[in-house]
Structure 1
Amino acid sequence: MSDPNTTTAGSIRTGRRTRVRALTVTAMLSAIAFVLMFLDFAVPFMPSFVKMDVSELPALLAAFALGPVYGVVVCLVKNLLHLLITTTGGAGELCNFLLGACFILPAGLVYQKLKSRKGALLGAIVGAVVMGLLSIPLNYYITYPIYTNFMPIDAILELYRAIRPSANGLLECLVTFNAPFTLLKGLLDVALCLLIYKPLSPLLHGKV
């Protein structure tokens, strides 16, 4: 007969090792996400100050491997690190975190309920759609009001009109430009995640 105290102590040690591993993987993925923020690039259908990057990819990996909360933590940490070098008063970092959380949280929650490749695909797509939709109010009420402290709203709108002269007002620009762009960004993260998650899974789950 096994000793209950020995069993309990073993469970506690196992739980501690699991938490330490989860925190270590989260820190590693946060650092990678921070680096990926610098590997951004312009796209022809967006103003020059809006760049594409795949820095939500490590957060998506964390959400699938460790749980949605860890994924959101990766989004938070990468933006806190980027806040140390920001030149936009934190507007970009705040929006990036909020949109990242809107993407990662639904994706991770769906995957928790449906732990399969189809569940991962469904969750990630749901997260990308939620992020795309919520990019409109988040940008309209939070990000751009902060940006206007650095660039007049008329100057911002002119950058959109350089691409689509008939663009009329910030809200229309967010609907016709930013929402599709944000959705595309999320779907790019989804595609990359599905390509690399399985090969990385043993490392993320501490099985190597």
Structure 2
Amino acid sequence: MIKTKCNSSAKLNFKVRDITKISLLSAIAFLLMVFAEFPLPLFPSFLKFGLSDLPALIGGFAMGPVTGIIIEFIKNLLHFFFKSETGGVGNLANFIVGIGFVVPAAVVYSVNKTKKGAVIGMAVGTVTMTLLASLANYYVLIPLYAKVYSMDAILNMMSQANKAIVDLKTYIVYAVIPFNILKAVVVSIITLLIYKKVSPILHM
């Protein structure tokens, strides 16, 4: 009986610790999304560059891909309630693209928990994220934005940022693909620099 109580207590403590870690990483991701995102030259202003996927990637490496999904979901749910300016379309985009990067990277790293495994995982995540972002923008996200605004207004905003963008196909080629590759590369480099320093805290 005593042993059973000890095991139950240990499991409960483990769950509480995990919930605490996920909550902290989600809060950091939310704050990064709110206060540290900004547009870049040559990209439409609604494509905001930031590091809010960084806590999700670190959480995914430390606790598995499901944790990365949870952090991405909580981050976007909080942003939707407190800061959303696009009726949730921007949050849907951020969530789809975020898990497209975090989940493949975390899955590969879970199989090979080395620096090489992390690099391969993030490379796979970068490709998956860019492909998913391209398909989602072309078939889902921009059509949804067009319902909130109008397709003419969106294309005008795109062409003002980059004259080479004249339709959805050129938007994918000149904006979505390079933007997501750049974002993934920057997040990957920072992860490589800090993960080993923060992972002992996440494994406590």
TM-score of the superposition, structure 2-length normalised?
0.92
Q: Residues 1-208 of structure 1 correspond to what in structure 2 (within 5 A)?
A: 6-38=2-34, 39-85=36-82, 86-206=84-204
Q: Deviations over 1:43-90 (max 9, x none)?
A: 112012221011000000100111110011000000000111312110
CA RMSD of aligned residues (A): 1.6
Opposite residue 64 of structure 1, the aligned amino acid is F
Greater share of helix residues, 1 or 2? 2
Structure-2 change in CA distance of 1:166 and 1:111 (3 Å):
closer
Opposite residue 147 of structure 1, the aligned amino acid is Y
CA contact (8 A) 1:136 1:171 kept: no
CA contact (8 A) 2:43 2:162 kept: no
Please give the alpha-carbon distance, in whole angstroms, between the structure 1 residues aligned to 2:44 and 2:164. Answer: 15
Question: Number of matched residues?
Answer: 202
Opposite residue 94 of structure 1, the aligned amino acid is L
Opposite residue 125 of structure 2, the aligned amino acid is G
Deviation above 2 Å: which 4+ runs of structure 1?
Answer: 5-16, 158-168
Please give the alpha-carbon distance, in whole angstroms, between the structure 2 residues aligned to 1:190 and 1:12. Answer: 38
How big is the shift at 1:7?
A: 4.5
Could you say which structure has the larger radius of gyration?
Answer: 1
Please give the alpha-carbon distance, in whole angstroms, between the structure 1 residues aligned to 2:122 and 2:65. Answer: 12
* Percent of aligned pairs with the same amino acid: 41
How big is the shift at 1:6?
A: 4.7
User: Secondary structure at 1:168's aligned position in 2?
Assistant: coil
TM-score of the superposition, structure 1-length normalised?
0.91
Please give the alpha-carbon distance, in whole angstroms, between the structure 1 residues aligned to 2:3 and 2:184. Answer: 44
Which structure 2 segments of 5+ residues have no match? none
CA contact (8 A) 1:102 1:131 kept: yes
Please give the alpha-carbon distance, in whole angstroms, between the structure 1 residues aligned to 2:153 and 2:134. Answer: 19
